[in-house]
Structure 1
Amino acid sequence: MNIQELYDRENLSYKEYVAYLKDKYGDVVDDYYREKSYNRLLNGEIKQPTKGKFSRTVDGLITHHIKEDEYLNLSNIEWIKAFQYPYEAQAKENLVYCNLIEHAWLHMLIAEETDNKFGLPGLWVFIVPTIEDSYISEYVPAGAWRRNVYESSYLTKEEAEHFIGYLEKRVPVNHNLPQLLDDKWIDDKYPNVGKISINNKSPREKILTELFDRKYAPQFKPPKTFKDFKEFKINEFRDDLLQELDDLVKNLDDWRDDYYKPDKQ
């Protein structure tokens, strides 16, 4: 993307930038969740509400909840149930299309305008790590929709590094993040990895090491190495790796698993 397009609009407020994106991409065509099933979720009648047909990942676009300047983590089922978020926040009028880099910009503006009460966790725990994986570490994602998002948001390594530095100046990562997170986001999305001391700050290398030791070592016996395994996983995002690891450790008995864990080749 043309990153200068963002910098040229650095004086826009959150609401002004949302309006700019709606003008650029058009209105979102459907609600995020169907109202009837959403209400059934809030009442504890079902575990998963039905999503609307709003997606434009074919165009490389993400759907952002505009009211994330009032509520945290609006797409997360566990948070919706815990905090009983109103259906209004899921309505199509309160959604906007954006690419990955524009999504980061939206969360930066939210954090600034709410004194870091909202926006900051999504920015530094999910969005920025994806930008780092994609354009700095140059892990090209597998899967059609992820590839579409990758391409629509493409930055050179230098542009990505400058952009993240710009974000850090406007909403520093260490401001209130530990207080806001308390590891809750990763606990909700990946509830099992804490058993093996993986958390929201764990580097990609540590996640890969755990996956290698617990699953892939038999496939990568000498002369193959851990380096070959990393190449094998090069196109997978951090979220995908965490999900795979979370599934692996879902039912493990901590001490038994660690005792029998194979040595890395």
Structure 2
Amino acid sequence: MNIQEYEKVKDMDYLEYCDYLQSKYGISTTSYFTKNWSKCSKVTRTAEGLIVHHKFEDHAIKLGDVKYARNNPYEWQLPENLVYCDYLEHLLLHIMICETPAAGKNKNENVGIGGVINHLVPELNDLFSGWEPSQPWRKNCKDRIINDKDVYFVLLNRFRMSYEGIEYCKGMPLYEFPDTLLKSASSNYDTWSIQNNITLYDEICNYLESQKANDPPSLAEDNNNRFWS
């Protein structure tokens, strides 16, 4: 997804964007899991740099992990409930879930946010800092988005604006920005050091700080009302 496409889709709601991506890439020809909860190999399209997102992850977390998936309706694994996307489109999907989780989501599950701060952002930080994946599928996914760092920064700021100012437990911030975004997925490997990400982290910090001038005065209050309502 380049910046021109983001401008086209940024005001869609989550389900509209899922429909848009299904139209863009097509519907899966198979379910994600079989009825015996084995992953269907034919669901994968990483040769094209695309990964699979579960549409019902606005209701439940980790629907691609059998330990979590089998506790939810099997219908959520059907082809019509799968969405192909690149890394940046996947990040936008999870940000949209954070902004408007389903009213009937699973109790005590914080949908969307784990995918942002624990998985997608750490890996994208490494990729945009020059990490070269050894797995061919991951390299394909990198190649599809590597020229769109400007979109990545815009998405990080959108996520910040969704959570800036939210407080819990005696006024402590729920997420510290930008620190919660300055993570690495690969720094535990001998082939990569978090020091390799420092230049990107500085760019992220400077960009997010520069965007605060555009925040509405009521951002913190609006976010707290949205989050705790």
- How does the TM-score come out when normalised to structure 1? 0.58
User: Aligned in 2, Cα 1:60/1:30: closer, same or farther, shift over 3 Å?
Assistant: same
Distance change >3 Å, CA 158–CA 58, structure 1 → 2: same
Matching residue's letter, 1:71: A
Query: Which of 97, 101, 109 does residue 110 from structure 1 map onto?
Result: 97
Contact 2:55 2:83 in 1 (8 A): yes
1:145-195 deviation digits (Å, cap 9, x = unpaired): 11110011223555533432232223459778xxx9xxxxxxxxxxxxxxx
CA distance in 1 between partners of 2:185 and 2:31 (Å): 38
Check 1:14–1:206 CA distance in 2 against 1; reply closer, same or farther (3 A cut): closer
How many correspondences in the alignment? 178
Structure 2 letter corresponding to 1:142: S
For the residues of structure 1 that align with 2:9 and 2:183, how far apart are their CA atoms? Answer: 33
C-alpha change, 1:104 and 1:159, in structure 2 (3 Å) is: closer
Q: Go from structure 1 to structure 2 and tell me whether the alpha carbon gap of 1:158 and 1:105 turns closer, same or farther (over 3 Å shift).
A: closer
Q: What are the equivalent positions in structure 2 for 1:26-175 lying under 5 Å apart?
A: 26-35=26-35, 37-38=36-37, 49-81=38-70, 84-114=71-101, 117-135=110-128, 137-172=129-164
The correspondence of residues 18-29 of structure 1 with structure 2, limited to 5 A, is: 18-29=18-29
Check conservation: 1:108, 1:171, Cα contact below 8 A. no
Distance 2:116 2:185 in 1: 21
Shift of residue 140 of structure 1?
A: 2.4
Task: Give the TM-score taking structure 2 as reference length.
Answer: 0.67
In the alignment, the residues of structure 2 paired with residue 31 and residue 158 of structure 1 have an alpha-carbon distance, to the nearest angstrom, of: 34
What is the rounded CA distance, in whole Å, between the counterparts of 1:205 and 1:108 in structure 2?
19
The residue type paired with residue 89 of structure 1 is W
Cα pair 2:86 2:141 within 8 Å, conserved: yes
Match of 1:222 in 2: none
Q: Distance in 2 between matches of 1:204 and 1:110?
A: 23
Letter in 2 for 1:112: E
Q: Which amino acid aligns with 1:76?
A: D
Answer with 1 or 2: which has the greater Rg: 1
| Structure 1 residue ranges (4+ consecutive) displaced by more than 4 angstroms after TM superposition | 156-159, 171-176, 200-207
Q: Where do residues 243-254 of structure 1 align in structure 2 (5 Å cutoff)?
A: none
Question: What stretches of structure 2 of length at least 5 have no aligned partner?
Answer: 103-108, 169-173, 175-179, 197-229
* Counterparts of 1:23 and 1:110, CA distance in 2: 20
Structure 2 CA distance for aligned equivalents of residues 102 and 141 of structure 1:
20
In structure 1, what is the Cα distance between the partners aligned to 2:151 and 2:164? 19
The whole-number CA distance in structure 1 between the counterparts of 2:3 and 2:11 is: 15
3-state SS of 2:75 partner = helix
Could you tell me how far apart the structure 2 residues matched to 1:201 and 1:163 are? Answer: 11
Letter in 2 for 1:153: I
Return the letter of the residue paired with 1:106: L
Percent of aligned pairs with the same amino acid: 30
Q: Which amino acid is the alignment partner of residue 85 of structure 2?
A: C
1:16 counterpart residue number: 16
Are the aligned partners of 2:47 and 2:137 in contact in 1 as well (CA < 8 Å)? Answer: yes
Greater RCO between the two (CA within 8 Å, min separation 6)? 2
